[in-house]
Chain A
Amino acid sequence: GQQVMQIPQYQHVQEGEDFTTYCNSSTTLSNIQWYKQRPGGHPVFLIQLVKSGEVKKQKRLTFQFGEAKKNSSLHITATQTTDVGTYFCAGPRGSNYKLTFGKGTLLTVNP
């Protein structure tokens, strides 16, 4: 079945450093979504990418969707302690209704 793989599983950075997490799908995706989960919290939707090669920005966060629509990345510039958490990518699975989530990348930031 469809798989969504994320790397790295963990990333520890010093505050101010950049961070990137990558998401790869075994099949072409119609769209990809990104979620953030703070420690002890629940996943919260960040953004959705739909078009091939699409790039979207949210302040210090840059999201990209690959040309082949099989991979995506999230880049954070100049990390802050508020960026701490697990970042998940997710793509639609099969028919409507269901998402396949990657296993997530846990970001920790040393102040």
Chain B
Amino acid sequence: DAGITQSPRHKVTETGTPVTLRCHQTENHRYMYWYRQDPGHGLRLIHYSYGVKDTDKGEVSDGYSVSRSKTEDFLLTLESATSSQTSVYFCAISPTGDRTDTQYFGPGTRLTVL
């Protein structure tokens, strides 16, 4: 498996609280992605990064922000968590972002918002 870790692995929080999820890679890959996975919806892209301080929105970015101050770290922040953000969050990385590039996924973070 690629060197990707996510923290925390599990989190329970309350509605309205801020939450930050961390993705850390040791592969020095340029591209990093945050997905959420929900039953019946598959994997949906939240935000992605194509370099340090270079980020862009995915298809379900409302309520989420990201930051990437170092190549190895990509943070996902829920400014004010809502119950609809209860999900499993996966980070992924890819070396070049080319169309034929493979994405490597981290182990995931299970977030529950009460």
Residues of A within 8 A of B (CB): 1, 9, 30-31, 33, 41-45, 48, 50, 88, 90, 92, 96-99, 101-104
Contact = CB atoms under 8 A, between A and B. Distances in A.
A98 B48 contact: yes
Interface of B: 31, 33, 40-45, 48, 50, 58-59, 90, 92, 94, 97-108
A17 B33 CA distance: 36
A54 to B, nearest CB: 13
13 contacts: A1-B59, A31-B99, A43-B92, A44-B105, A45-B103, A88-B42, A96-B99, A97-B31, A97-B94, A98-B48, A103-B40, A103-B41, A103-B42
Contact of B90 (A1, A30, A43, A99): A43
A48 B94 CA distance: 14
Contacts of A31: 99-100
Contacts of B104: 45
A91 to B, nearest CB: 9
A103 B42 CA distance: 4
A6 B11 CA distance: 31
Given A41-B107, A42-B90, 18 more contacts: A30-B100, A31-B99, A33-B103, A42-B106, A42-B108, A43-B90, A44-B105, A45-B103, A45-B104, A48-B102, A90-B103, A92-B99, A97-B48, A97-B50, A97-B94, A98-B45, A101-B43, A104-B42
A43 to B, nearest CB: 5
Nearest to A93: B45
B58 A98 contact: yes
Nearest to A30: B99
B98 A96 contact: yes
Nearest to B43: A101
A48 B100 CA distance: 8
Report, nearest first, the 9 A-B pairs whose CB atoms are least far apart. A103-B42, A97-B97, A92-B99, A42-B105, A101-B43, A45-B102, A43-B105, A96-B97, A101-B42
